[in-house]
Amino acid sequence: MQLRHINLALLIDAAGGDPWQVNNTLQSGNPAAIDELASAFHDAGLCTAESGAAFAQARQRFQAAWNRENGEHPINDSAEVQRATTSLHLQQTQLTAIGTDLEAIAAALAEAQKSAAAKINALQIQLQDIDNRIGMYQEANFDTAELEQVAIDDTTGILHQLEKLRDDYAGILAASTT
């Protein structure tokens, strides 16, 4: 964006913040990397589920094939086997839950980035138009104060929208860690 009549530093100061910086912060995240991590956790949970199913099937075969005289299964009924079986199920649930949370985070970040980029693009188009009109007003010796205020108001509005996008994403991120 090439502005000839609007001082960007003064505009940012008058708007109370830098919408481009907020956008850069959002754009610095990598939803594709988060998505890959989500897939890895989800796949690990599925592998754990498959392992758990294979273990349960093997245990059933063992129970059907061997029974001590008193009806107990000393190997399968041991505390260690019971703990491992319970742990395996918890791990599967935890892994898939982590994958789901990460997928939601990736989606929220991608949506925030897309929305922020569109808002910044619209602001830049609007500011370029205002800048051109200010140039025409200056050539005609017209007062440019109203156009300058529109530029400030537009920038302030987009700044607040971007901050809300960032805060909403941060809220989703924080909620997934609890």
pLDDT above 60 for 160: yes
Give, in order, the Cα–Cα distances in Å from 114 to each of 48, 101, 163, 170. 35, 20, 14, 16
**pLDDT of 94:** 77
48 alpha-carbon distance from chain centroid: 26
Q: pLDDT tens digit string along 30-89?
A: 998 888 888 887 777 777 666 666 656 655 665 555 455 555 555 555 566 566 656 666
Could you please report the per-residue DSSP string of 55-122? HHHHHHHHHHH---TTS--TTTTSHHHHHHHHHHHHHHHHHHHHHHHHHHHHHHHHHHHHHHHHHHHH
Return the domain boundaries, the chain: 8-176
**pLDDT of 97:** 80
Q: Which of 32, 51, 33 is CA-nearest to residue 95?
A: 51
Q: Which of 85, 44, 41 is CA-nearest to residue 63?
A: 85
